[in-house]
Structure 1
Amino acid sequence: MESRIENKLKLEVEKHGGLALKFVSPGMAGVPDRMILMKNGKVVFVELKALGKKMRPLQIKRKKQLEALGFKVYCIDNFKGVKDFVQEVMV
């Protein structure tokens, strides 16, 4: 289910002119799954989870680190979350 949500996010972001890049940082575990690049240089991060699953403590730590630098980090675990994300961030 998580992969279906991730695919939907990628398609919706691209439909609105952005990129949803798979985010991997060797040597730093717990980073969000996707880095969303939007028009005008805006960047946000998204952690994707299976329905009802929560972020692990290390993921929460990375979220706080990114937020301390001024980035927004979203956690999405369902298709409605993708829709809400697109409405808030992409439109």
Structure 2
Amino acid sequence: MCGVALLFFSLLVLSDAIAARKIGVNYGRLGNNLPSAYQSIEILRSMRAGSVKLYDANPEILRLLARTNIHVSIMVTNDEIISIAANQTTANKWD
């Protein structure tokens, strides 16, 4: 009976870890009274978020995220899409 309980507990812990990696967060910085970049990344880490989408390529946030295992995607604004898609030099310079 103890072995069954241990197996069940192990599977429960493993399933929780797998589910947590599926959590994704959109991280925008427009608003009032927002936490600092450091505090925001710590919140993401405490949530065990697996991925985050940024609305800009903020160097401080990218530096902080580089020290985590969180997958990052950076959004390109709507008004930038056409010029980036049409011109490789523009795409290379995008930040």
Structure with higher strand content:
1
Give the number of the structure with larger relative contact order, counting CA–CA contacts within 8 Å between residues 6 or more apart: 1
Asked if these proteins are the same fold (TM beyond 0.5), I'd say no
TM-score by length of 1: 0.32
TM-score by length of 2: 0.31
Structure with higher helix content:
2
